């Protein structure tokens, strides 16, 4: 994902790559940020978040929850906007980002792909229109290296559907099924995770009714879609007041 972000930034006419970060001890430290892409940027990959922020107008973070929290707090200290595409936060970690957003504008989303965020809106519309007569199942697929399941995007889809129907996702979520499960509760929202190969990301939302089924599907063939959305969010944050924003705000879908 870091490579995709660097490539997208270098290709943008209105943006400049100012810094590239890795964790302390990483093998890539000191190498040129464009080396993996076969280009020379003149930017050395480093681990000093303070120096990186001093040279930048906005941080884009696709790392791990523990790193994202520290980066958000560093951004708040230097009053620099942040785009956060990491998923898998615990409640305390998310609260620290919320606290940082009281001082700076932060765009955080489970998925920055524009198509996926349009899907979020369609899920809300469909759930409200179809109501309790349609059962909801969410199927997601990702590459074998993804460490969390279900994906943050799938969980967000479930949250949107539950909210539209006035349900508590904590009570409605059913993660996979095995054995004698009994009849499906009407309020259930099913989650199913597939992991394999190099699948970038696929999400299917099934609304299954009696005699009729609606499926909303989005497939990402390249991480470029996520990078493009993240850059769009970075542009959106310029001049914005402190607060926690998401891609629905960026795309004007509120």
Here the CATH number for the domain that contains residue 129 is 3.30.360.10
Residues 184-204: what's their mean pLDDT?
96
Displacement of CA 12 from its chain's centroid (Å) = 21
Do 78 and 59 sit in the same domain of this protein? yes
Do 216 and 227 sit in the same domain of this protein? no
Do 15 and 104 sit in the same domain of this protein? yes
Do 31 and 103 sit in the same domain of this protein? yes
Range of the domain at 156: 114-220
Q: Is the pLDDT of residue 110 over 90?
A: no
Do 195 and 238 sit in the same domain of this protein? no
Residues 101-129: what's their mean pLDDT?
95
Do 69 and 133 sit in the same domain of this protein? no
pLDDT band, residue 222 (cuts 50/70/90)? confident
Tokens, residue 159: 């949250």
Interstrand relation of 243-245 and 105-108 (parallel, antiparallel or unpaired): parallel
For residues 137 and 154, the answer to whether their CB atoms sit within 8 Å is no
Here the CATH number for the domain that contains residue 16 is 3.40.50.720
Do 101 and 198 sit in the same domain of this protein? no
Give the number of domains in the chain.
Answer: 2
Do 150 and 184 sit in the same domain of this protein? yes
Do 80 and 167 sit in the same domain of this protein? no
Supply the residues annotated as catalytic.
142, 146
CB atoms within 10 A of CB 16: 11
Do 124 and 187 sit in the same domain of this protein? yes
First and final CA of the chain: distance in angstroms?
A: 27
The torsion angle over the Cα atoms of residues 250, 96, 142 and 163, rounded to 10 degrees, is -60
Q: Mind listing the pLDDT tens digit for each residue in 64-95?
A: 999 999 999 999 999 999 999 998 899 999 99
Do 92 and 215 sit in the same domain of this protein? no
**pTM of this structure:** 0.80
Do 144 and 159 sit in the same domain of this protein? yes
Q: Is the pLDDT of residue 254 over 90?
A: no
């Amino acid at each position: 994902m870091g490579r995709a972000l660097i490539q997208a930034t270098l290709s943008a006419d209105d943006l400049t790559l100012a810094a590239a970060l890795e964790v302390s001890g990483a093998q890539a430290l000191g190498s040129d940020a464009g080396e993996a892409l076969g280009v020379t940027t003149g930017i050395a990959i480093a681990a000093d978040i303070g120096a990186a922020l001093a040279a930048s107008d906005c941080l884009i973070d696709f790392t791990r929850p523990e790193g994202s929290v520290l980066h958000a707090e560093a951004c708040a200290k230097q009053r620099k906007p942040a785009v956060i595409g990491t998923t898998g936060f615990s409640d305390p970690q998310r609260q620290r980002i919320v606290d940082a957003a009281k001082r700076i504008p932060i765009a955080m989303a489970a998925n920055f792909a524009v198509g996926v965020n349009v899907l979020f809106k369609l899920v809300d519309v469909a759930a409200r229109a179809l109501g309790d007569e349609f059962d909801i199942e969410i199927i997601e697929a990702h590459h074998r290296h993804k460490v969390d399941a279900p994906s943050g995007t799938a969980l967000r889809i479930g949250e949107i559907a539950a909210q539209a129907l006035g349900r508590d996702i904590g009570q409605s979520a059913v993660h996979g099924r095995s054995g004698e499960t009994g009849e499906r509760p009407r309020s259930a929202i099913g989650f199913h995770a597939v992991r394999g190969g190099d699948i970038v990301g696929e999400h299917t939302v099934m609304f299954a009714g009696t005699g009729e089924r609606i499926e909303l599907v989005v497939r990402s063939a390249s991480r470029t879609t996520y990078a493009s959305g993240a850059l769009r969010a970075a542009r959106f944050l310029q001049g914005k007041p402190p607060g926690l924003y998401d891609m629905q705000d960026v795309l004007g879908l509120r």
